[in-house]
Chain A
Amino acid sequence: MDSALIPDGVKRCSFGKFALGIIIAGGVLLWGVYAMLLIWLKGLNQTNMNDYYGFALWIWADLGVIALGGGAFFIGLLRYVIGKDELKNIINYAVLIGFICYSSALLILAIDVGQPLRSWFIFWHANIHSMLTEVAFCLSCYFAVLTIEYIPLILENRQINKVPFFHNLAHNMHEVMVIFAATGAFLSFFHQGSLGGTPAVLYGRPFAFREGVFIWPWTFFLFTWSAAAYGPCFTLFVTRLTEKITGKKLVKQNVIDLLAKISGWMMGTYIIAKIIDTWYWATVTATASGFNLIDFYSNNPFYGIWILIAEIVVCGIVPALILLTPKGRSNSTLLFTAVLLACIGVLLNRWVMVLQVMAAPVMTFENWVMYIPSWQEVATTILPVAYGVILVMISFRYLPIFPQERELNS
């Protein structure tokens, strides 16, 4: 039925099966849209946010998808600026995943601001002393970069590419992509960093507060570093998941191996820096505010010391070691486990830096404040996942995402 739109030389499932998948994901999407409309029409009283939790599930999801989408900027940097040519075989998928992650982040923000019609205020009435202003600027501009990187892929659809103008436009955009990729890396460095800097400048919140260099707390650099380390892991994870679902080999092992190795080094060095940061914070910064490390992890039903061990050891050191060893990278199961653990690790880090910051008591008369999101918050957080699944399905079916697919499955 739609065979004329499918890239040359590759096989796809029947249109009926594809449509069924879209309908299932579309059902989840509609549930999220319903919740989104409720929030827009009735207001933020539909959420369980309160005076303690001004930042909640949405901001965690935002920071999470931005970190996971970091694969796009880092792989783009490696491919176009540093010249790792092998990565041309996975860059398209990284861009698609990045595009989904960043559009999801913007969608979630549009719900979270409560008054989306005033979103432009942050550009026009910018508070130049706010790290979140920098985030808003860089996030919006970087989304424009991702859109620019995604457009040539759409233009390379079999039918669209027959139109000479679109063919030429795609070709020209590829030729100057290094400029866009470099701009994207610059923008990503600052918004990833500022997202990490935001909690760390809260000197009234000793759990998050960090010292740093000039105006930047150490977490500024840790967030950028972690996005560059863990983002490519998410790209590898989704690639492997797509291979399993479609039953096809999509990317050659040497490409996977190279990206996994780079991620392993980035993750290994990041974890060392993270351990140093945690140690300094626990022994110097927090104690200067009258807190001991264990104060932040006890007398509450959820935020135990396990969360720190899970983030640094289980989802940090372990995947880094797997990715750093040739045996670990060549074993499909180990590699898949490592990238999955890495994704959980970075999500856990963002969870802690958003939610635990709010939960931990500051004054002596305060207690831990727990938070359970409302179903509307959950639905609107799942909404981008359904949207992502749909966009991946459509892009995989109709666009030449994987240059090696034909060769690997012939």
Chain B
Amino acid sequence: MFPFSFEWIWDVGHMVFMGGLWYALTILGLGMTYCILKAVVDTMHGKGGQHH
């Protein structure tokens, strides 16, 4: 549910509940985006070819 959904109410419950969900999803999303982008950059720099 987003603030533009018709059921949304600007109260503590909605902000805590939905805010918590978005917060967790944002951390996971940003974390994975960082890992993937860094892996792309590392690969382009030739890293990971001579692994153990």
Given the known A-B contacts A145-B28, A183-B28, are A169 and B13 also in contact in the complex, defined by CB atoms under 8 Å? no
Cβ contact within 8 Å between A168 and B32:
no
Cβ contact within 8 Å between A128 and B48:
no
Residues of A with C-beta under 8 A to B49: 164
Given the known A-B contacts A124-B1, A125-B7, are A164 and B48 also in contact in the complex, defined by CB atoms under 8 Å? yes
B interface residues, how many (CB within 8 angstroms): 28
Please report the C-alpha to C-alpha distance between residue A124 and residue B2 in the assembled complex, in whole angstroms. Answer: 8
Cβ contact within 8 Å between B18 and A187:
no
The dominant DSSP class at the A interface is: helix
Within 8 A of B (CB), among A306-337: none
Select which of B7, B20, B31, B42 is within 8 A of A176 by beta carbon: B31
Please report the C-alpha to C-alpha distance between residue A186 and residue B46 in the assembled complex, in whole angstroms. Answer: 37
Please report the C-alpha to C-alpha distance between residue A137 and residue B1 in the assembled complex, in whole angstroms. Answer: 12
Within 8 A of A (CB), among B29-52: 31-32, 34-36, 38-40, 42-43, 46-49, 51
Please report the C-alpha to C-alpha distance between residue A95 and residue B30 in the assembled complex, in whole angstroms. Answer: 21
* A161 in the interface (beta carbon within 8 A): yes
Cβ contact within 8 Å between A179 and B31:
yes
Cβ contact within 8 Å between B34 and A172:
yes
Nearest residue, chain A, Cβ from B37: A172
Cβ contact within 8 Å between A128 and B18:
yes
The dominant DSSP class at the B interface is: helix
Cβ contact within 8 Å between B34 and A168:
no
Nearest residue, chain B, Cβ from A126: B1
A231 to chain B, nearest CB (A): 20
Q: Mark contacts of A355-387 with chain B using CB atoms, 8 A cut-off: 1 yes-contact digit, 0 otherwise.
A: 000000000000000000000000000000000
Residues of B with C-beta under 8 A to A187: 24
A160 to chain B, nearest CB (A): 12
A residues neighboring B (CB under 8 Å): 123-126, 128-129, 133-134, 137-138, 141, 144-145, 148, 161-162, 164-165, 167-169, 171-173, 176, 179-180, 183, 186-187, 190
Q: List 19 A-B contacts (CB under 8 A).
A: A124-B5, A125-B1, A128-B14, A128-B18, A133-B17, A137-B21, A138-B24, A141-B21, A141-B24, A161-B51, A164-B43, A168-B48, A171-B48, A172-B35, A172-B38, A176-B31, A180-B31, A187-B24, A190-B20
Known: A125-B1, A176-B31, A183-B24. 17 other contacts (CB 8 A): A123-B1, A125-B7, A126-B17, A128-B17, A137-B17, A137-B24, A138-B24, A148-B28, A164-B48, A164-B49, A168-B39, A168-B42, A169-B36, A173-B35, A179-B27, A180-B28, A187-B24
Instruction: Give 4 closest A-B pairs by Cβ, nearest first.
Output: A164-B48, A167-B48, A169-B39, A168-B39
